[in-house]
Amino acid sequence: MADQYTEQRKLKVKELREKGMNPYPNGITPSHTAAKLHELYDSKTREDFEANKTGDHSVAGRIMAIRLFGKAGFIKIQDRTGPMQIFVEKASLSEADYEHFKNFMEVGDICWFSGYVFRTKTNELTIHATTLKLVTKAVNLLPEKWHGLTDVEQRYRQRYVDLIVNPKVRETFIKRSQIVRSIRDFFVAREFLEVETPMMHQIPGGATAKPFVTHHNTLDMDLYLRVAPELYLKRLVVGGIERVFEINRNFRNEGISIQHNPEFTMLEFYMAYATYEDLIKLTEELLGSVAKTVCGSAKVMYQETELNFEAPFARYTMKESLLKVGNVPPEVLTDRNAAVKFAESHGVKLKKADEGMGPIMEEIFEMVVEKKLIQPTFITEYPTEISPLSRRNEKNPDVVDRFELFCFGREIANAFSELNDPEDQAGRFKAQAALKAKGDDEAMYYDEDYINALEYGMPPTAGEGIGIDRLVMLLTDSPSIRDVILFPQLRKL
């Protein structure tokens, strides 16, 4: 049916050209958007329009529906701001325009209409068309039904159609833009400088993740797509840019799920003369501000659960969360054999037989605690061995001054007081390099230039990364990360 429909429309394109008419004309500009017309005239009654007829107003948009009755009809169009109704009748159009409408304008086409504004008997604001033009002839059939699980992947693959027929999808991406703008405004107002750092790295760093590899022909060298901008941003702090942020695309050659996409958007920011404790307060302020700005309230509904971004958020150390939230027996936190037995009994598969307590605690946390953290919750005091870029706690060197923020069972942010001791950092890099030599694809490389930068002196600094996609999911009630990325990565058909 769709193929037959497309062929019929292609014949109409051919017919238009044979008549000397361009089915894809240029230089057509509407005087108003649908939203502007509603802004101007929503307060006027039918009687107001009858007493004082408006002048010509033109709009352009895609035809979403046509209802004909005799020699007249109503057309629903949609522009970037929303829907508008058009009334078309033979008596108000030139013969050529009416024939053009009757023979060539169909649902899906982009058209321009000019006329005066009035209200129908059902009180709907409408343009009474006196002239019209076909702007773009669509040859593919718009779907009548574009909802339901069977169409989800097709919606992602053909996002352009999804945006045409699903207003809620458009609203999601409009809100995403508002969220990013709100974040940017928040940091600029606090004297942070927005920067851009390289997306191709000679040495991947800033996160324990498996990178994508590419090759530069002229330089004849392999490069890695950015897994994080962290080490470049901290180089800038060394250089005297004491408050810096970047809203950036990262790439990680890892799994795909409702929470993970191979390329994703992160906010990373660094603040000199601050600690992770300062960033806890700043994060509460940021997320509360963004929620209020974009959603109108610090309380938002997500998947039928109310999430409250009003400060203060809940807070546990990792050990406290294991004991109080995960109900883990105390001996699991101190005895490796007990930890391994507990992990395996809960389906945790240890990555390596010689893993230390830190990685085991992390895996147990991910299995039994993370999913229970529904309201925004900070987890602090992570083991040093799983935090290669974080500053050791001065009272307990086995943990670092770090937090992660969780909400609705998923990580939203990761932050710490930065390690600015070049000797300590070099030792952590060497430990990571040893893990990589043993086959750990996610372990970091030794970055000699970054050590050199630290040797020039980096002031005490705190830094944080926030997952923009996951935050947008929460603030738009979107169940999957694919719902908030315009063109998510999918398998080949």
Average pLDDT over residues 360-373: 94
pLDDT band at 399 (very low <50, low <70, confident <90, very high): very high
Question: Over the range 265-281, which residues count as b (16 or more CB within 10 Å of their CB) and which as e?
Answer: bbbbbbbbebbbeebbe
Query: Average per-residue pLDDT in the chain?
Result: 93
- Per residue, what are the HEC states of the chain? CHHHHHHHHHHHHHHHHHCCCCCCCCCCCCCCCHHHHHHHHCCCCHHHHHHCCCCCEEEEEEEEEEEEECCEEEEEEEECCEEEEEEEEHHHCCHHHHHHHHHHCCCCCEEEEEEEEEECCCCCEEEEEEEEEEEECCCCCCCCCCCCHHHHHHHHHCHHHHHHHCHHHHHHHHHHHHHHHHHHHHHHCCCCEECCCCCEECCCCCCCCCCCEEEECCCCEEEEECCCCHHHHHHHHHCCCCEEEEEEEEECCCCCCCCCCCEEEEEEEEEECCCHHHHHHHHHHHHHHHHHHHHCCCEEEECCEEEECCCCCEEEEHHHHHHHHCCCCHHHHCCHHHHHHHHHHCCCCCCCCCCCHHHHHHHHHHHHCHHHCCCCEEEEEEEHHHCCCECECCCCCCEEEEEEEEECCEEEEEEEEECCCHHHHHHHHHHHHHHHHCCCCCCCCCCHHHHHHHHCCCCCEEEEEEEHHHHHHHHHCCCCHHHCCCCCCCCCC
**pLDDT at 25 (0 to 100):** 96
CATH code of the domain occupying 2-136: 2.40.50.140
Question: Domain segments of the chain: what residues?
Answer: 2-136, 164-326+369-483
CATH fit for domain 164-326+369-483, picks 2.30.130.30, 3.30.930.10, 3.40.50.1370, 3.40.50.10320: 3.30.930.10
- pLDDT tens sequence across 131-180: 999 999 999 988 875 444 347 888 899 999 999 999 999 999 999 999 99
**pLDDT at 149 (0 to 100):** 34
Does pLDDT of 305 surpass 70?
Answer: yes
**pLDDT at 80 (0 to 100):** 95
pTM given for the model: 0.92
**pLDDT at 150 (0 to 100):** 46
Average pLDDT over residues 247-263: 92
- pLDDT tens sequence across 193-206: 999 999 999 988 88
Same fold, 2-136 and 164-326+369-483: no
- pLDDT tens sequence across 37-91: 999 999 999 999 989 888 899 999 999 999 999 999 999 999 999 999 999 999 9
Average pLDDT over residues 253-261: 90
